[in-house]
Amino acid sequence: AQSVTQPDIHITVSEGASLELRCNYSYGATPYLFWYVQSPGQGLQLLLKYFSGDTLVQGIKGFEAEFKRSQSSFNLRKPSVHWSDAAEYFCAVGPYNQGGKLIFGQGTELSVKP
């Protein structure tokens, strides 16, 4: 079955600390992987995506993610978290070139301590 698992429902980090959000997927074909962020009361915004090539991808707002095929993972990282990063983060997987038929994970809520 195709699925995305985000093991951490809620994470709290101190401002300035590093961040890693975990994402594991199960997908039968070559995956097209995404991270989206949802700020309170807002829709989802794309942070970054990966289909092929360099397994370390850079996104907006200083985020990056690393694709590890052997571990079926696509973890999101940021070296230094800012208070404005507090939001909910969603990992998603889908087929390439077939529109946005994505499977989303359950989401990880990030809180940032001053």
Partner 1 sequence: EAQVTQNPRYLITVTGKKLTVTCSQNMNHEYMSWYRQDPGLGLRQIYYSMNVEVTDKGDVPEGYKVSRKEKRNFPLILESPSPNQTSLYFCASSFVGQASGANVLTFGAGSRLTVL
For partner 1, the binding residues (CB under 8 A) are 4, 6, 9, 32, 34, 36, 41-46, 49, 90, 94-102, 104-107
| Contact between residue 65 and residue 58 where contact means Cβ atoms under 8 Å apart | no
Looking at the Cβ atoms of 1 and 70, the one nearer to partner 1 is 1
Least CB distance from residue 76 to partner 1, whole Å? 15
- What is the smallest separation between the CB atom of 97 and partner 1, expressed in angstroms? 5
Shortest CB 53 distance to partner 1, Å? 15
Task: Compute the distance between CA of residue 70 and CA of residue 16 in angstroms, rounded to an integer.
Answer: 31
Distance CA 30, CA 85 (A): 30
**Residue 16 DSSP label:** T
